Amino acid sequence: MKTVIGLEIHTQLSTETKAFCSCKNDVYAEVNTNICPVCTGQPGALPILNDQVVEYAIRAALSLECEIHEISSFDRKNYFYPDLPKGYQITQYFHPIATNGHVDLNNGKRIRIQRIHIEEDAGKMFHSSETITEARSSLVDLNRCGIPLIEIVTEPDMEKPEEAREFMEKLRDILRTIEVSTGNMEVGALRCDANVSIRDKERSSSRVEVKNINSFKFVQRALEYEIERITEVMKNGENVPQETRGWDSLTKSTVSMRSKEAENDYRYFPEPDLPILVISKERIDRIKKELPELPDEKAEKYEKTLGVTRDNAKILAKDKTLSKYFENAVASGLSAKDTSNWIVNEVLALFNSDSTEFNHERISIDNLKKIMDYTNSSKISRLVAKEVMAEVYKSGKDPDTIVRGKNLLQVSNENELISVVKEVIAENPDTVAKYKSGKTSVLGFFVGGVMKKTKGKADPKIVGKLIKQLLDDEN
Ligand code: ADP
Ligand code: MG
Ligand code: ZN
């Protein structure tokens, strides 16, 4: 069995104004306020291409290693739906702006990009019931009409649902880094249709396309669901019809939307109201020079020049605010390797624990540095450091205040520790016997006991030494 997956991705470009008129590009505005004769398709209104759209599309295409075409053009994709007052969408069907790109996954596998084209978004419908077929009435907000999109079409180069998810995440990280899109799937600024088919030795299933996927997790889930479903149909010796299905995030399943036969015939033809799009070599070169460092390049730099592990480097380089935070911490004199571990294992864990996006103000570099210094100079234990950091995260207090206020300084004074060590030994005669019979691995148990009694404040190295001394002396 071989699974074949290809993605078609739409992303909204964060330009100031819409693609072909001067309306503001703002989907959050009061409904039907950012509209004009052009984006609502009034007779006689003419589109004018927003040059910022071209700029962003080139930036994206170059970041995805595509070839930019010096000449491309626009076409009309015709269909009727209430969210499309013009009756057609302006897109680039016959001659897209860019082709032949790629994104490399972290395991080195190359996912080729077939094409990238510019198009415009349609409006947004609101139905009085959950589904359009049950709805007695529907409303439409045309603010989204004419918002610029780029569509990115991959070759069917992915074989696993995880790969599709990784591709989408990497794509989002790139789009954010080059500042052309928020890449936010949850609000529809990044949308993906996943195509999947399965081949065994004798035959291949038809291609099924899953639409309406609105999170990275669901890209993977929808494909897993579909692979299982198609495999089952094939096992039963039945045919898999070529169809478009929708992902229902409530039932975590896909449902048939339409069959191949019911596909629209879009009657594409060249857009007569827009000139051919000409992009000079100079412009492409200029944009190429202005591109910021992309996540993978940054990760490689962290790995090669700063000695950060590959996994940490990839995580830190994904997001601009995070990589800036890391770089600033290193610039303030902290060791890169140590800092990378602290950020990835401790700082990010806190943000993940309550699903908030990273924000450098929650744990300032000053505070990170203080906590790392306390730990590195053995003034507090790693365990206590975690606690202090969680407190900084929660309350924004200064680590010094927390350490002093809660009396958290590590006890490394042997005289202070010896009584606790003796207590733990006295309380566990069975374990002492085990130790004496040669099972030295129980040392850790005693250290744990002391750490518990001192609420993590004891210096575990010294505790270990003391326990060993006391037990060995008794021999
Ligand atoms: P269409 O324009 O009819 O949607 P395309 O050939 O342009 O068809 O392909 C659309 C998407 O389907 C692409 O992302 C491509 O990678 C993917 N795709 C093509 N063939 C297959 C296949 N056999 N299995 C899975 N995905 C496929
Ligand atoms: Mg398609
Ligand atoms: Zn408009």
In one-letter notation, the amino acid at residue 52 is Q
Element (H, E) at 176: helix 161-177
Three-class DSSP category at 441? helix
For residue 207, count other CB atoms closer than 10 A to its CB: 18
Locate the ligand 1 atom nearest the alpha carbon of residue 196 and give its number: 25
Whole-number Å distance between alpha carbons of 155 and 153: 7
Q: What is the pLDDT along the chain (475 residues), one digit of tens a residue?
A: 899 999 999 999 999 999 999 999 998 899 999 999 999 999 999 999 999 999 999 999 999 999 999 999 999 999 999 999 999 999 999 999 999 999 999 999 999 999 999 999 999 998 887 766 777 888 999 999 999 999 999 999 999 999 999 999 999 999 999 999 999 999 999 999 999 999 988 788 889 999 989 999 999 999 999 999 999 998 888 888 899 999 998 899 999 998 877 777 999 999 999 999 999 999 999 999 999 999 999 999 999 999 999 999 999 999 999 999 999 999 999 999 999 999 999 999 999 999 898 999 999 999 999 999 999 888 888 888 999 999 999 999 999 999 888 777 777 678 778 888 899 999 999 999 898 888 888 888 999 998 888 888 888 888 888 888 888 876 5
List C-alpha distances in Å: 138 to 123, 126, 131, 427. 12, 5, 10, 73
Instruction: Tell which atom from ligand 1 comes closest to the C-alpha of 156.
Output: 16
Residue 4 Cα to ligand 1 midpoint, Å, equals 10
Pocket of ligand 1 (CB under 6 A): 4-8, 153-156, 195-197, 207
Q: Is 104 in contact with 111 (CB distance < 8 Å)? A: yes
Q: Each residue of 400-447: pLDDT tens digit?
A: 999 888 777 777 678 778 888 899 999 999 999 898 888 888 888 999
Place of tokens 């997790």: 217
- Candidates 2, 151, 153: which one to mutate for ligand 1, based on the most atoms within 8 Å of Cβ? 153
Q: Which atom of ligand 1 is nearest to the CA of 204?
A: 23
Q: List domains and CATH numbers for the chain.
A: 2-283 (no CATH), 293-405 (no CATH), 414-474 (1.10.10.410)
Neighbours of 269 (CB within 10 A): 13
Question: Which ligand 1 atom is nearest residue 153's CA?
Answer: 14
Give the Cα separation of 69 and 123 in Å (integer): 29
Sign, CA dihedral 447-452-453-454, equals: positive
Q: Which residue owns the Cα nearest ligand 1 atom 11? A: 6
Residue 131 alpha carbon to ligand 2 centre in Å = 23
